[in-house]
Structure 1
Amino acid sequence: MDIELADPATDFRSGFACLVGRPNAGKSTLTNALVGTKVAITSGRPQTTRHAIRGIINRPDAQLILVDTPGLHRPRTLLGQRLNDVVRTTLSEVDVIGFCMPADEPLGRGDRFIADELGRMAGRTPVVAILTKVDAVGDPDRVGARLLEVSGLGDFADIVPVSAVSSFQVGTLADVLVSRLPEGPRLYPDGELTDEPEQVMVAELIREAALEGVRDELPHSLAVVVEEMIPRENRPEDRPLLDVHVNVYVERPSQKAIVIGAGGSRLRDVGTRARTQIEALLGTPIYLDLHVKVAKDWQRDPKQLRRLGF
């Protein structure tokens, strides 16, 4: 009997998958779980993600580039409109879409809004419904009821319940997404986990630290820009130090006072939390120089949005 061997040149799959969902649906946490390391910042605050973050999943049979997007929502500001534009542009460019809906919350207007958006793409890009955060529900009957709800929301290529926290079915979801990719070669070098520039990732880690414990109205007003990252001169080769100069922008002087805290205590805490993660990312000690500045109503100002990278 002749045995036909698999041809790696034709059996290998590669392509892009986009995770979409309303704000705080668990997209970034799931992205990190699928990639196996932290490439997207996470927070309990809605609309934490502001860029399309690419995480790269390398497998013997495939390379899946996972794009975590901002939450699709009804925008109230120019920033919100531009974040939605990021999502819609990404949706039009990927090979498969993962539509994330949290298991611990009922389907809402935001989910139906996104389902309608995806319905307009019917036939062009397969959509996999992903029921996230099933660990937060516990009761299998409740999970089953939520899956039935989800199935009635659209014509999905597949429906997968997952938990990024407990790793439940994360591997299964990766298999489902990979199965929808076209055959093709690796698009990134093997072992690469993200194509995000270091300065963007550093800015995101600082924003993640700054989001902890702030008032409800403040998260959307925070923007972080890394002005420069330069090696400290005249340091011994075995004791390098990277100077990282960063501006944190808010919209009002009252918000600046909140971020800085009494006697600068809160800003120091932000710096301490962020520095640990940045040093792990860059693999070198850093000196983190943080400044808080006011950019009045930047979320609604086209010129300031461009200056801040949106």
Structure 2
Amino acid sequence: MSDNPHHRCGSVAVIGRPNVGKSTLTNALVGAKVSIVSNRPQTTRHRLLGIATFPEGQLVLVDTPGLHRVQKRAMNRVMNRAARGALEGVDVGLLVIEAGRWDEEDSLACKVLEDAGIPVVLVVNKIDRIKDKGSLLPFIAQISEGRTFASVHPISAQKHKGLEALVKDLMGLLPEAPPMFGEDEITDRSQRFLAGELVREQLMRQLGEELPYATTVEIERFAEDGNLLRIGAVIWVEREGQKAIVIGKGGIRLKEIGAKARLQMERLFGAKVFLETWVRVREGWSDDESALKAFGYE
């Protein structure tokens, strides 16, 4: 517990369209990998808390799936509900956008935050990719017109640039309160959940072009055996042909997915991991509300 009488603590919803770097920002502020990342939209499918503890206060970051304007499948609808539900009871909204780009989905995310009636901080991410830095100010002025932001922060979450000023401004918007979580806590999610996400991250990274959204992961076994974690993960796909793609010729792709996920688990959990993976077919799971519920989608 903090002995600082002016300690601040509150929840911050991280909102934006898909692929603007919300999870990268959450991980950068927490100082550990709690949200999986890839260069594919819709990598984040669940709402989760990232806990960032500083001497002056604690930010409870609610990382959310990207908001979609078009909701073709049950998966899109579930993710939109998760993102909108993240705004219940939060103190501040972080609107994350990509430097130099604003489209209809950014407008949707902004409107959702405005309707929530909370202070909104605009985070202009990926400034490291902008060659002409002089174009940033006119861009920010253009999108700020007719909108009220508590503050605006050009940052690079990936390169950890601009984060100190962002944290300072966020703390100023939070109430004086004791911390909600212990100093060593970084997320509200279980190791079992994180293990499934780390397998899914490798699927998104290695099969993003071929099977961007047709896979999910279910952890069937998670057991501690001394300093060894024994984990069994089922990769679900929608068709037999997709199963062959995930396994790869002679099983090589599945082995690589498992090996990389295992290394990430060992890094995150601080323990040796024995990981087994299987691939199974459940037709149309991503457009089936009951299947999504069974797989743990909120």
TM-score, with length taken from structure 1? 0.91
1:111 aligns with 2:98: no
The match for 1:299 is 286
Work out the CA distance in 2 between the residues paired with 1:291 and 1:242: 17
- Does the 8 A contact of 2:114 with 2:120 survive in 1? no
Structure 1, residues 145-173: CA drift from partner, whole Å, max 9, x if none?
Answer: 22123312621111111111222111111
Between stretches 260-269 and 190-199, larger displacement belongs to 190-199
Query: Per-residue deviation at 1:284?
Result: 1.9
- Does the 8 A contact of 2:121 with 2:149 survive in 1? yes
- Does the 8 A contact of 1:18 with 1:67 survive in 2? yes
The match for 1:89 is 85
The match for 1:162 is 155
Work out the CA distance in 2 between the residues paired with 1:8 and 1:181: 17
Q: 1:1-310 maps to which residues of 2 (within 5 A)? A: 10-74=5-69, 75-103=71-99, 105-121=100-116, 124-152=117-145, 154-216=147-209, 218-232=211-225, 240-310=227-297
Q: What is the one-letter code of the residue matched to 1:15?
A: G
Query: Per-residue deviation at 1:184?
Result: 0.8
Q: What is the one-letter code of the residue matched to 2:211?
A: L
Bigger CA radius of gyration: 1
TM-score, with length taken from structure 2? 0.94
Structure 1, residues 257-295: CA drift from partner, whole Å, max 9, x if none?
Answer: 111111111000001101111112222222111001111
- Does the 8 A contact of 1:229 with 1:243 survive in 2? yes
Work out the CA distance in 2 between the residues paired with 1:279 and 1:242: 9
- Does the 8 A contact of 1:129 with 1:150 survive in 2? no
Q: What is the one-letter code of the residue matched to 1:137?
A: I
Query: Per-residue deviation at 1:144?
Result: 1.7
Q: What stretches of structure 1 move > 6 A for 4+ residues in a row?
A: none
Query: Per-residue deviation at 1:95?
Result: 0.5
Query: Per-residue deviation at 1:201?
Result: 0.6
Q: Number of paired residues?
A: 295
In structure 1, list runs of 5 or more residues that go unmatched: 1-6, 233-238
The match for 1:235 is none
Work out the CA distance in 2 between the residues paired with 1:215 and 1:51: 18
The match for 1:3 is none
In structure 2, list runs of 5 or more residues that go unmatched: none
- Does the 8 A contact of 1:9 with 1:184 survive in 2? no
- Does the 8 A contact of 1:42 with 1:48 survive in 2? yes
1:183 aligned counterpart, secondary structure: coil
Q: What is the one-letter code of the residue matched to 1:134?
A: I
Distance change >3 Å, CA 196–CA 228, structure 1 → 2: same
Name the Cα RMSD after superposition.
Answer: 1.7
2:122 aligned counterpart, secondary structure: strand
Q: What is the one-letter code of the residue matched to 1:35?
A: V
- Does the 8 A contact of 2:36 with 2:198 survive in 1? yes
Identity %: 38
Q: What is the one-letter code of the residue matched to 1:56?
A: I
